[in-house]
Amino acid sequence: MRLRILAALALSAGLSLAATAASAEVQGLPKNDYSDKANWLCRPDKTKDNACDVDLTATVVRADGKESLERFKADPKAPIDCFYVYPTVSRDPGVISDMNPGPEETNVVKVQFARLGSKCRLFAPLYRQVTLTALVAGMSGKPLPGSNDPAVRATGYHDVVDAWNWYLAHENHGRGVVLVGHSQGSGVLTELIKNEIDGKPMEKKLVSAILMGTRLPVQKGKETGLFQDVPLCTRASETGCVIAYSSFRDTAPPPPNSLFGRVPEPGDIAACTNPANLTPGGKGVFHAYMSNVQIVQASSKVTWVKGKPNPKTPFVEAPGLLTGHCVDKNGFSYLAVHVNANPADPRTDDINGDVIQNGKVVPQWGLHLIDADLAMGNLVTIVGDEAKAYLAKRK
């Protein structure tokens, strides 16, 4: 029972249960046709139902309570591409999802990926992921039939590989690429990098990889580990590197049964790269875009400014509210997030983001729900800087 629950949790967290993905065969399911725009959530030539063509307006809420609007504008002539694999969100009834996107898929794209359209062309394939339904069933001790079948679990990986290969053959044209994933999506991309990119010719096109909400093994004191030739990013001008982290409140570090922050391999630790300051060990201010629509019900809504109604925009920014740094302590390596509370000013002194079950915070998840929200502005800036560095090297 315990192993089944851990297996389901690991699938959601993107924790290398896909280790058999490279060799497992998908049985009884036809391949997806990724030349069909319907099999993509985002693609530059998709003019109808493009999940990345959405309102990303943000309300900037300053410490003194004053508010202003920030509009978003995509760059259709962006010089590089971004390729995204979304986390465990599907509420389809089976073990793996179908290829018909629901609001959960489109909402997560809005929160975690669409804003990168100011720096890159956006590609986000649909894939037959392990569902949230299967995760919940496993956690309750009643796993769905087939949920432990390696071939079933590998379906999503093979879909993403097919989408990746279609993109390379038909859309890449020598352009640099940033890979972006969260949770299960990060786990799939970890396998893709390990099997298809690390140490291979394709590595030359890798601008960077952003793997959020996962636990990527690296050797303690070094920048490589599972990936032998793709190191952790240590500065914004670096390319061919990876940003990986899982976030926790600094007041609620990973508990002993945490799903993140620790890897089983002896001598390795979970990678932690701080998007607010890529210098190893550096502290920084998060440029967060907090969503007004969360993927999964988290905690009760905060009031952004005391005595005022909350903004109606899809996103809220609160400059200076959140800072953080990577922590390596008690066997865990993670991104510690500090809320700069000031009871003397009218702005909120807290944020949403905890996983709530039966009215209580589930501490082993940390701030998994908002890994992307916390640092989205920082990541947009980093991708822009990396794009300039990548193009400069190619001149």
Give the residue among 338, 334, 378, 373 at the shortest CA–CA distance from 353.
373
pLDDT band at 5 (very low <50, low <70, confident <90, very high): very low
Q: Find out whether 339 and 351 touch, Cβ atoms under 8 Å.
A: yes
* Averaged pLDDT for residues 70-86: 97
Ordered DSSP codes for 186-254: HHHHHHHIIIIITTSGGGGGEEEEEEESS--EEETTSS-BSSSS-PBP-STT--SEEEEE-EEETTSPP
Give the residue among 153, 259, 178 at the shortest CA–CA distance from 214.
259
pLDDT band at 51 (very low <50, low <70, confident <90, very high): very high
**3-class DSSP assignment, residue 333:** strand
What is the rounded CA–CA span in Å between residue 237 and residue 389?
5
Q: Supply the pTM of this predicted model.
A: 0.93
Contact partners, residue 49, CB within 8 Å, separation at least 6: none
What is the rounded CA–CA span in Å between residue 27 and residue 29?
6
What is the rounded CA–CA span in Å between residue 394 and residue 386?
12
Q: Per-residue pLDDT for 1 more than 50?
A: no
Give the residue among 79, 70, 81, 117 at the shortest CA–CA distance from 317.
70
pLDDT band at 9 (very low <50, low <70, confident <90, very high): very low
Q: Find out whether 214 and 13 touch, Cβ atoms under 8 Å.
A: yes
Q: How far is CA 95 from the centre of its chain?
A: 21
pLDDT at 293: 60
What is the rounded CA–CA span in Å between residue 322 and residue 352?
12
What is the rounded CA–CA span in Å between residue 241 and residue 224?
10
What is the rounded CA–CA span in Å between residue 394 and residue 28?
44
Q: Find out whether 22 and 153 touch, Cβ atoms under 8 Å.
A: no
Q: Which long-range contacts (CB under 8 A, 24 or more apart) does 253-258 make?
A: 253/327, 253/329, 253/330, 253/332, 253/334, 253/336, 254/330, 254/332, 254/334, 254/363, 254/364, 254/366, 255/363, 255/364, 257/364, 258/332, 258/363, 258/364, 258/366
- Residues 268-311 have pLDDT tens digits of 999 999 999 999 999 999 999 998 764 434 445 789 999 999 99
Lowest average pLDDT, out of 12-26, 143-157, 192-206, goes to 12-26
pLDDT at 37: 97
What is the rounded CA–CA span in Å between residue 269 and residue 191?
18
What is the rounded CA–CA span in Å between residue 279 and residue 289?
22
Q: Mean pLDDT score of the chain, rounded to an integer? A: 90
Q: Find out whether 216 and 182 touch, Cβ atoms under 8 Å.
A: no
pLDDT band at 50 (very low <50, low <70, confident <90, very high): very high
Q: Per-residue pLDDT for 208 more than 60?
A: yes
| Enclosing H/E stretch for 361 | strand 360-361
Half-sphere exposure of 248 (CA within 13 A, CB side): 26
* Averaged pLDDT for residues 47-72: 97
Q: What is the DSSP letter of 130?
A: B
pLDDT at 346: 97
pLDDT band at 204 (very low <50, low <70, confident <90, very high): very high
Q: Find out whether 387 and 119 touch, Cβ atoms under 8 Å.
A: yes
- Residues 146-198 have pLDDT tens digits of 888 888 889 999 999 999 999 999 999 999 999 999 999 999 999 999 999 99
| Enclosing H/E stretch for 61 | strand 58-61
Ramachandran angles phi, psi of 323, nearest 5°: -130, 165
| Amino acid letter, residue 54 | V
- Residues 348-358 have pLDDT tens digits of 999 999 998 88
Q: Per-residue pLDDT for 3 more than 80?
A: no
pLDDT at 337: 98
pLDDT at 298: 45
- Residues 223-237 have pLDDT tens digits of 999 999 999 999 989
pLDDT at 356: 86
Q: What percent of the chain stands above pLDDT 70?
A: 91
What is the rounded CA–CA span in Å between residue 305 and residue 231?
41
| Enclosing H/E stretch for 3 | helix 2-13
What is the rounded CA–CA span in Å between residue 201 and residue 369?
35
